[in-house]
Amino acid sequence: MSFKRMIHAVETHSGEPMRVITGGVPNIPGDTVYEQMKWLEKNDDQLRKLMLREPRGYPPLCCNLIVPPKHPHAAAGFIVMEQVEYPVMSGGNTISVATVLLETGMIPMQEPVTEFGLESPAGLIGIRAECRNGKVKNVTFENVPAFAAHLDAKIDVPELGTVTVDVGWGGMFYVIADVRQFDWLELVPEQGAEIARVSSLILRSAQDQLRVEHPDYPGIGITISQLSGPTANPAADRKNAVTMASGPVDFANPATWTGSIDRCPCGTGTCARMATLHAKGELALNQQFRHEGVLGTIYTGELVRKTKVGLYDAVVPTVGGQSWITGYSTHVLDPEDPFTEGFTMGDLWA
């Protein structure tokens, strides 16, 4: 039997489920991975929808496509696909992609440390993987520069009133609110639905009221929200819950006040948080920052040097964490399947 598509993938998680496509996608044109991402978005968005929507996907799932690198110092390239966008960078997905490349032998593993370049749409990402007995025990990546776009901004949020937020770039623009502004809310899995509700309202309000602009990526706005707070874990410095949109938020429709909580501590969110804390004088260069996710797992970050992004004062962050392979899969599209882009349902999706 012939199929319209046959896609091979490795299933991983770092808390957050992250699928990595290793085969079945034809060559994508473009002189950079960024150009390849834009081509894919315009010409084959079916791939993203097919792999992330039901029946092959579900709201929290992220997906990555490994592509040949264009940068001379990269061993591989990758394109990140999420439910509502193609982010130019994702930290947790970077950790998962590096793990897959090494543990499947696509890149030779050197113990105790393997170093290589990984080309994201945002540019070259430096990878340092700690390896033992054929397993990747930790991946630390040096990210693109991060910066604060807004600090202590006041926004008006339906249902919540005036909320104080920061906005930081860590590979995506995050609106970040201290959870202590909401005395009924804790960053625990049991309050996941309320975390998503509050976060989605903050996200839409920030999108409407706060202007952001990245010099290298015109048109990219605030697409993701983060609640930040203290932690009771002595191995961590702060705790966070990042909520990814699964559709547009409509204030007139409470059914859209939702999203999917990032199950991992969020790599680019950690970078954005470190950048805003540094801009406030609360995090120094070369100071370890241990960021706990909602499941209790931890990514460890550090700001290694200062730089500039256009007119913004910026910092170069590193983030380290671990990902685990959970399975190997082959996904097909039957020629008679009427749902050629998958489907969503209002019980789970915005």
- What pLDDT is attached to residue 350? 79
pLDDT tier, 218 (very low <50, low <70, confident <90, very high otherwise) = confident
Q: Is 193 helix (H, G, I), strand (E, B) or coil?
A: helix
Residue showing tokens 């049991």: 190
pLDDT tier, 56 (very low <50, low <70, confident <90, very high otherwise) = very high
- What pLDDT is attached to residue 29? 96
What's the CATH class of domain 5-144+324-333?
alpha beta
Give the separation between CA 302 and CA 307, rounded to whole angstroms: 15
Mode of pairing for the β-strands spanning 146-157 and 135-142: unpaired
* Mean pLDDT of all residues in 4-10: 97
pLDDT in tens, 75-128: 999 999 999 999 999 999 999 999 999 999 999 999 999 999 999 999 999 999
- What pLDDT is attached to residue 349? 85
Rounded to 5 degrees, φ, ψ at 199 are -65, -40
Give the separation between CA 21 and CA 8, rounded to whole angstroms: 6
In the chain the first and final C-alpha atoms are separated, in Å, by: 36
2 part of the active site: no
Give the separation between CA 98 and CA 116, rounded to whole angstroms: 9
Find residue 148's DSSP bridge partners. Answer: 168
- Whether residue 317 is predicted with pLDDT greater than 90 in this model: the reply is yes
From 14, 62, 63, 90, the catalytic residue: 90
- Residues 43, 92: contact at Cβ < 8 Å? no
The whole model's pTM is what? 0.96
- What pLDDT is attached to residue 22? 97
Smallest CA-to-CA distance from 196 within 269, 255, 253 is with 255
> What is the number of other CB atoms lying within 10 angstroms of the CB of residue 143?
27
Domain ranges of the chain: 5-144+324-333, 146-316
For domain 146-316, which architecture applies? Roll (3.10)
Angle at Cα 276 formed by Cα 181 and Cα 32, nearest 5°?
125
Instruction: Give me the sign of the Cα torsion angle 213, 214, 218, 221.
Output: negative
pLDDT in tens, 240-290: 999 999 889 999 999 999 999 999 999 999 999 999 999 999 999 999 999
Q: What is the per-residue DSSP string for 200-246?
A: HHHHHHHHHH-----TTSTT--EEEEEEEE--S-TT-SEEEEEEE-S
260 part of the active site: no
From 62, 264, 266, 271, the catalytic residue: 266
pLDDT in tens, 62-90: 999 999 999 999 999 999 999 999 999 99
- Whether residue 1 is predicted with pLDDT greater than 80 in this model: the reply is no
Judge if 5-144+324-333 and 146-316 fold alike in CATH terms. yes
